Structure 1
Amino acid sequence: MTSQLTPVEILNTPVHPVTMAGTLTAVQQFMAEPRLHQICTTNPEFVMAAQRDPLFRQILQEADLCIPDGVGLIVASRWLGRRAGQPLLPQRVPGSELVYHLAGLCAQEGWRPFLLGAAEGVAAKTARVFQEKYPALRIAGTYAGSPAPEENEAIVQMINESGANMLLVAYGAPKQDKWIYRNQDRLTAVRVAIGVGGSFDFVTGKSTRAPRWVQNLGLEWLHRLLHEPWRWRRMLALPRFVLYILWQSTLGK
């Protein structure tokens, strides 16, 4: 599917113009193919990190699917797309909502996801929430772990022995995406691997999403900053992203 989609280029970072339904269709196609497919939940922070991190930029450029998880990308695609003649991003595909759809799809198709990352016990609690919502769901395993090199071998072995064919990694970007990229040839049965950031925290109620009206205004980042002030350094990427987009759109006129 993604081979038929022309990605939107935002500051040299590809983002695929997919909806939630289109994302799930792509996942179904990926699961039928005999190799691992990496999905990235791209947002403005990803784009700005890629400007200074060559490996992360390469990962995003080589990923099988980069979904638009960030309202800033939707706005940027409209500013830049009309000038560049490239497609627009149709809607935001939030990773925190996608994980529920993936759990439901796994229950429907009989796939076995492995939940990796987040704080101790959070992945296991996430699995319980999913199984309560989707009783047919079979979770291959859960583990907090870390992206530290000394844990790598044991984690890869654990996932392979679990029989998982889907992997959700909650180490936060870019660590989660680099971990998947580094181990993609060693995860023998996994067909789809996706970095899901703080999604497990949202599922378990450890963190709360902004009200829908705040999301619709594109101010979810402000809600997170007010509730998680320790994120302020990461949030600095957002005004920088806006300035970069304005600069690029001005140059193109």
Structure 2
Amino acid sequence: MLERRANPVGRAATAGVPRISLGGLRLAVLDVEQTANFMIDMVSPVRRVRRPLYLTSANGEVLSRCSTEPMTGRLFRAADLINADGQPLVTVSRLKSSTPLPERVATTDLFGVVARKATAAGLTFYMFGADEEENAAATANVQNMFPDLKIVGRSHGYLRGDALRAKVDEINALAPDYLWVALGVPYEQAFVEEFAPRLTNVGVIKTAGGLFNFLSGSRARAPKWMQDIGLEWAWRIWLEPRRLFWRYLTTNPRALYLLFNKSRPLNTDSTLQG
């Protein structure tokens, strides 16, 4: 998949979305509600393009990895839209830009808003990723929260080779308006690069990271006060110290450096769409 700057389809579809360059990535200057409205608008018959739109999210860890892992950086720069899923990004944008990020767009928050709007509009979801137990529990909980939401299918993400290709073709035949892909960075981004050309009947692909763990109830979100001051990473370390301590110890300092040294002060595309 081409980088957005070399992709005329993606550029045309997202031309009305303002962006700022923050930490080396171009991020959408949209809040949760505006992002959800954009996602709803882009699956209308008159706005659909010849392939699914690819939306992903970035936090400090992503900024750090994009700067040190060329493949990860390329996969993120191919996205049609990147949201800021990290409070430190919002805070630094207020120091570096005259049009800062309005708020953190956490995928867990965004999912609920899109689900509510999709239910009202009769639009459809497919939930792909995590293991079978997590995927099944997440899908069941979502259906309980939104009884009228049309979930046309679900699948765990532990598929490879022919089984994965067959599943992708099955998803395409079901033609969901939104495909939520929860495989973790950079595997979900690599999935989009490989399979977007086969998913021509899908409206939007949104990468989802650990979303299904939160939806299933197996993982708790940080208290809101920790989210608001940018300490959700500390909460996650407390929950999973063995897995996450070294990761954040190495990525957080680099992310801070990038935020203060690889950011441009002005939005670069257009005015904010209400």
TM-score scaled by length of structure 1: 0.89
| Distance (whole Å) between structure 1 residues aligned to residue 162 and residue 254 of structure 2 | 35
Closer, same or farther: CA 73–148 of 1 in aligned 2, 3 Å = farther
Tell whether the 8 Å contact from 2:181 to 2:207 is kept in structure 1 after alignment: yes
C-alpha deviations, 1:172-205, integer Å up to 9, x for none? 1111111012211111211100111111111111
Q: CA RMSD in A?
A: 1.9
Aligned to 1:57: 73
Matched residue of 2:169: which SS?
helix
Cα deviation for residue 123 of structure 1 reads: 1.6
Q: Which runs of 5+ in 1 are unaligned?
A: none
Cα deviation for residue 103 of structure 1 reads: 1.9
Counterpart check, 1:201 vs 2:209: no
Aligned AA (1:54): P
Aligned AA (2:165): E
Cα deviation for residue 154 of structure 1 reads: 2.0
Cα deviation for residue 147 of structure 1 reads: 6.4
Aligned AA (2:126): F
| Distance (whole Å) between structure 1 residues aligned to residue 195 and residue 60 of structure 2 | 25
Cα deviation for residue 76 of structure 1 reads: 2.5
C-alpha deviations, 1:91-148, integer Å up to 9, x for none? 1011111112222222222222110111222122211111111111121111113364
Aligned to 1:241: 255
Cα deviation for residue 80 of structure 1 reads: 2.8
Give aligned pairs, total: 245
Larger relative contact order (CA 8 Å, sep ≥ 6): 2
Cα deviation for residue 149 of structure 1 reads: 4.4
| Distance (whole Å) between structure 1 residues aligned to residue 62 and residue 151 of structure 2 | 29
Q: Which runs of 5+ in 2 are unaligned?
A: 1-12, 264-274
| Distance (whole Å) between structure 1 residues aligned to residue 205 and residue 131 of structure 2 | 19
Aligned to 2:31: 19
- The percent identity for this pair of structures is 27
Residue range with higher mean Cα deviation, 130-139 or 4-13: 4-13
Matched residue of 1:56: which SS?
helix
Aligned to 2:269: none
